[in-house]
Structure 1
């Protein structure tokens, strides 16, 4: 950290990865708890490094400065975090003289051991805008999935049975595996479509198996629903993933102008269905179709990389199985969101937005009144 970097931080508002504190108080237990809670929250929130700047009024940004900073303050901070955070959050602390005042900067590094937990109460924290809050159930699941500890697709759906799978669909999709019989249970288990129950004598579908081959996955995974709002008319699309994508085309394509590049919209919707946050049971994937814009709103997942390719590292098992299943006469997905823009030509209005606070990922495309040439 240098004065230029500090000066730039002071120009910013408090956010997911930036907080301003008037004092650095670590003398009593309650102060230590609040301090570590903020550190854990910033470490658990996706993004790069986080910073807590001490000696600054959070509203006015007025530099008050710190006094009597102990020489061993960084060592004390490390000890407090190690004692209270599981696993310990990687941090560093330094003091800079800025405008003749001492300002303390705590750098919270991007962690490879998310989620971090408060040892004393067992809670997991994260940032919501500029505030610290307890992580919800699905947010915790997001963090675990981001680290490869837990995968929604491979969670057994104990309420479902083999009767809830469409074995005709399985046989068609896996017809390239002619050397193996579909009755060979070990093959379906190896593919992650089936899972053993606790006694290993009964089988049930996994959530991923239902999403790919379920007769009606929404019975067990109600959030796996596609809701289309066409000028105020609400349509709900159900079925497994392939059926939903095809049904969306059958219902929506006739409503759009013939010259509309439907392939682009279909690609965005397919990505939304495949890569949505299935841990979030409160929100559907929504498509709002208006004259001025078509907006696809999705419960977002972790690690969206904003670049020309917009790589999305979510539900890789689902995506890889869909690629494996694609046949010449079947639906093809995967042209890439980077190519979606090109389909709209020079006047493209494509826009990608992430709302971390509301847990949404949004893609905006030109609407039905877009002037095509």
Structure 2
């Protein structure tokens, strides 16, 4: 046997081990063996019969729980097996709360303690009522915006003119008081109650030198649009191309992937954390830092795989779903990855450090050209397309993508640019037609 989240070894009994019993009860239950060394080797105990008599009452009196204590023998040595079941009410020892994390017993404090207590009572942070907040502080323009956005998924909501009834239908009331979710989603000034609920955007020359910055305040439904507008208009480059008379604008990163990441960050933020959403834009990458507490059911290594939806703030997530901002299928991170790969960009990186989820978007993969319209030492993707089509004018997009090593959607975008530049022409239909290279020099 080895020590784990549900197993602990002690050579002798000490009353301070009551915090280990407390931690087992607050987590998944477990077994505390008394009479073993740290490596799981039996050493035996001398006062086993006395402990059998005294420990049940001591644990019950100090922790308020009943455990099973079994006297066992192995190699002519006695030991105790203390079996602790998981409790559904929070258990404290000397006024402090403990959990098991791996083979360690840790004391809870701050936001971790708050979230633990809420979870034990079947509540989440955004579902708690805020007695000081009044209906007069609701932003009516945001309400109207929500009604228009949600008419497809909640058709009747558009006809509801009574604001209180509308918010009650959205489960944003607890008795006579509005919930925290209502403040963050619809308040005129949610930062009055939760100052950390604003977001920051900055342009960085390096890790320490900042060129410009913006602070985005207001409710979350409006923050989404504000953040995306600021990124698009001020912080990200856009490459312009033309398809005939139609102007095409392509951002450095896929707009929908960034928007999905921003929405996910606002929904899954741990608002007991005093940090805010921070978006750092560098020359070669974009990083989002978001204070969060990850679900044990969806660890960071599952973000790039299909997984269930486990929003940290489910009440707020339900509103974002109703207005069409998200899907309740746990596909957010998968969509972000797919959109970046389809954009011919590297797979984003998801990391968890210092109680923050860090999402990093990268520019062009080092294995491909940095920019399709920039001359490099290697031949650009566009030049490779022209050379291949000169030899085989019936090559499909899929075949070009496989030969050059980029995505099919990237080939489509490059071909559109070549056509708008007058360097490539399609002769005939999609199935029977062919390509005609008009000019092979940039």
Pick from 229, 232, 245 the counterpart of residue 250 of structure 1: 229
Q: What is the CA distance between 1:196 and its match in structure 2?
A: 5.6
2:278 matched residue in structure 1: 286
Match of 2:90 among 111, 115, 121: 115
Distance 1:36 1:289, change over 3 A: farther
Are the structure 2 counterparts of residues 297 and 251 from structure 1 closer, same or farther at C-alpha, using a change threshold of 3 Å?
A: same
Unaligned runs of 5+ in 1: 1-5, 26-30, 198-203
State yes or no: 1:23 paired with 2:11.
yes
CA contact (8 A) 1:18 1:50 kept: yes
Q: Could you tell me which residue of structure 2 aligns to residue 343 of structure 1? A: 339
Distance 1:237 1:89 in 2: 52
SS of equivalent to 2:48: coil
Evaluate the alpha carbon distance shift between residue 133 and residue 256 of structure 1 in structure 2; reply closer, same or farther with a 3 A threshold: same
Aligned residue among 23, 26, 48 for 1:41:
23
Higher relative contact order (CA 8 A, sep 6+): 1
Structure 2: distance between partners of 1:296 and 1:354: 9
1:339 CA displacement: 2.7
Helix, strand or coil: the match of 2:224? helix
Shift in alpha-carbon separation, 1:36–1:363, aligned structure 2, 3 A: same
> What corresponds to 1:264 in structure 2?
257
Say yes or no: does 1:296 pair with 2:289.
Answer: yes
State the distance in 2 between where 1:182 and 1:194 align: 17
CA contact 2:48–2:71 (8 Å) conserved in 1: no
Q: What is the match of residue 192 of structure 2?
A: 219
> SS state of the match for residue 133, structure 2?
coil
Structure 1 contact 227–237 (Cα < 8 Å) conserved: yes
Question: SS in structure 1 opposite 2:96?
Answer: coil
- The offset of 1:166, in angstroms, is 0.9
Give 2:181's match in structure 1, choosing from 181, 191, 208: 208
- Rg larger in structure: 2
Q: What's the offset of the Cα at 1:85?
A: 2.3
How far residue 288 of structure 1 moved from its aligned partner, in angstroms, is 3.8
State the shift of 1:343 in Å.
2.7
Residues 82-97 of structure 1 aligned to structure 2 (within 5 Å):
82-86=60-64, 88=65
Shift in CA distance, 195/54, structure 1 to aligned 2, threshold 3 Å: closer
* TM norm structure 2: 0.61
- How many pairs does the alignment contain? 332
Distance 1:90 1:145, change over 3 A: farther
- Structure-2 separation of matches of 1:174 and 1:332: 16
Instruction: Indicate if the aligned counterparts of 1:165 and 1:215 stay in contact, CA closer than 8 A.
Output: yes
After superposition, the Cα gap between the structure-2 partners of 1:103 and 1:216, relative to the gap in structure 1 and judged at 3 Å, is same
Report the RMSD for the aligned CA atoms in angstroms. Answer: 4.0
CA distance in 2, matches of 1:267, 1:274: 11
1:212 deviation in Å? 1.2
Which of 157, 161, 167 is equivalent to 1:182?
Answer: 161
Equivalent residue number for residue 126 of structure 1: 99
Question: 1:137 and 1:62, CA in 2 relative to 1: closer, same or farther beyond 3 A?
Answer: closer
Name the SS of the counterpart of 1:305 in structure 2: coil
TM-score normalised according to structure 1 size: 0.70
Structure-1 separation of matches of 2:268 and 2:113 = 17
